[in-house]
Amino acid sequence: MLTVYNTLTRQKEAFNPIDPNNVRMYVCGMTVYDYCHLGHARVMVVFDMVARWLRQSGYPLTYVRNITDIDDKIIARAAQNGESIGELTARFIQAMDEDAAALGVQKPNEEPKATEYVAQMIAMIERLIANGKAYAADNGDVYYAVREFAAYGQLSGKSLDDLRAGERVEVDGFKRDPLDFVLWKAAKAGEPAWESPWGNGRPGWHIECSAMGEEMFGQAFDIHGGGADLQFPHHENEIAQSCGASGVCNHSHDDLAGKHTQSHVKYWMHNGFIRVDNEKMSKSLGNFFTIREVLKKYDAEIVRFFILRAHYRSPLNYSDAHLDDAKGALTRLYTTLKNTPPADVAITADSNEYTQRFFAAMNDDFGTVEAMAVLFELAAEVNKTNDAQLAGVLKALANVLGLLERDAVAFLQGDLHDTDGLSSEAIDALIAQRQAARAAKNWAESDRIRDELTAAGIILEDAAGVTTWRRQ
């Protein structure tokens, strides 16, 4: 049985969806004002892996990943660029889709945009006010009254008193409590605005996901995911909003300490941070990498492999050395499939000992580290036996993770990164020249051509009178 680590209860729990015939997963997506970075790549790849495994396990899944297309950063960037908000967000949504596709991320079933659900956000804020959980301030803003939600802090493990003691933000004179957060922002000159009962304005960030999640799935659903940075305050605020608006929390749990928790979501999942030299990746530290920058140097499947070879909840340390290591490891798997073309096989958990262990690993909170180890053990066995059926199992298991989906020769020969840019045609021509030199017993010329190709990052493999090649 699949178990999932629930951030809310801080323990692994058996996965028992509300409706096994309609599993629902909502993941917080990107704010589209810039190119996606490696942190976004991890969110996209991790929850793509989760979606793939749920479907592999027989669950009919509806996967929703939202798009934030209105917020302070978007407004500021559009003004800075001298373009409309719509032009800015459309451009970066397209870039996001291109990056996701390169990484082998399958499209979610739905990608709601915040600007398309403002009416639902206004309706939810009205319910929060009616339920005594929110209030309209004299400046036209609407705030959530944090102290009116007794369970606030349960997801992050923070108490209200601790939060208040650590409050560093200048107190807003219109708030009743410094911890209260904005649900609706009064309109400012030159900014987009919508009509509301409290005057023209726009929604706060947190209310967006509560309203879109409810519109997509109703007042309760199975999985809510996102990066660890969203655990507080974004997801903490979502619980407060959604439970406060519905009047009930549909799922109650006891955590490891026996403390009772409540949420509109049954399982909260968060992937770990990306780190660079063991420090969190951030623009302020100057160690910030966009997906596009990384893909200039490394094949996208190598990046996907690099992300999945770590457990999704663990920190992931980025470096060229780690990407180079991932490249070598993935190359070994593809080389196995090149040398032993795989048979077309269907897999089940009980197909053989390798599938049993792979399925057991994935069912233990999506244990890709152990699942990857199974792939390499299987590859070693294929290399010894040249068993096409086992090669087929290797490919089928890897495909579940969105790996080894390409033709092996195409992968091994198709990556121009880290070479001098020799095309396949140029390489084939040099190999033909080398073969002619060998036929003429001109060993010096043959060695010169091999050395030239080696310097260009091309590995030659001579076997049974045939020369094949791959890129390093």
Binding residues: 28, 209, 234, 238, 283
Residue 26: which H helix or E strand, with range? strand 23-27
Please give the DSSP secondary-structure letter assigned to residue 230: G
Binding site for Zn(2+): residue ranges?
28, 209, 234, 238
Tokens of 416: 């121009």
With a CB cutoff of 8 Å and minimum separation 6, the contacts of 304 are 45, 103, 104, 402, 403
Rounded Cα–Cα distance for residues 313 and 58 (Å)? 24
Rounded Cα–Cα distance for residues 219 and 174 (Å)? 30
Closest alpha carbon to 333 in 393, 421, 278: 393
Q: Across 115-250, where does the E strand assignment appear? A: 134-136, 142-144, 181-186, 201-203, 221-227
Binding site for ATP: residue ranges?
283
DSSP per residue over 86-124, as a string?
Answer: HHHHHHHHHHHHHHHHHTTPPPPSB--BGGG-HHHHHHH
Tokens of 101: 């596709």
DSSP per residue over 240-259, as a string?
Answer: HHHHHHHSS-SEEEE-TTS-
